[in-house]
Amino acid sequence: MDEPQIYAQLAKLFEDVFDDDSISVTPELSAKDVDGWDSLTHIRLLLSIEKAFKIKFTTSEIGSLKNVGDLVALIKERA
């Protein structure tokens, strides 16, 4: 799966998880930029991503994510 495909699918997942279709999913995007992106929604987001891409993240990977760019790199490695 290439990056544009990953971003396209992530955009759908962000909309689903945050119930907000105005979020623009860019590599720089991080929790502080999105209203309601707290620690629990973060987990719901990652669980939704795991399910959608049929992958599994390790606990330390989840802890090391700083922004969407990191996340996409990780998905690219797995999916």
Partner 1 sequence: MNPLYSELQWLPRAPLEFSSRLKALTNSTGPLGRELQALALSALDLNQLTKLAKAIDKARAEGKSLDSLTPFKLAVLSNSTIDMILPALVASAARYGIVLEVIQPSYDQVAQEALTPDSKVNSSKPDAVLFALDHRALPLKLSLGDAETAFATVQVAIGYLQALRDGIKANSNAVCIFQSFAPPVETLFGSFDRVLPGTTKDLINKINHELTDFILGSGDVLLDVAGLAEIVGTCDWHDPQLWNMAKFAFSDQLIPLYADHVARTIAAIRGKSRKALILDLDNTIWGGVIGDDGLDGIQIAQGDARGEAHLAMQRLALDLRARGIVLAVCSKNSDEVARKPFEQHPEMLLKLDHIAVFQANWSDKATNIQAIAEELSLGLDAMVFLDDNPAERGLVRKLLPQVAVPELPEEPSYYARTLAAAGYFESVAFASEDLKRAGFYQENAKRAVLQKQVGGVDAYLASLDMTITFQPFDAIGRARIMQLINKSNQYNLTTRRYTDPEVAAAEDDPAVFTLQVRLADIFGDNGMISVVICRLNGAGAWEIDTWLMSCRVLGRKVEHMVLREILEHARAAGIKKLVGIYRPTDRNKLVIDHYAKLGFSKIEEETSGLTRWELLLEGAAPESAPMKVISSLIASDLERSI
Binding interface with partner 1 (CB under 8 A): 16-17, 19, 39-40, 43-44, 47-48, 51, 59, 62
Closest separation between CB of residue 21 and partner 1, Å? 9
Nearer Cβ to partner 1 (15/70): 15
Nearer Cβ to partner 1 (51/76): 51
Contact criterion met (CB below 8 Å) for 62 and 46: yes
Nearer Cβ to partner 1 (22/59): 59
What does the alpha-carbon distance between residue 10 and residue 2 come to, in Å, rounded to a whole number? 12
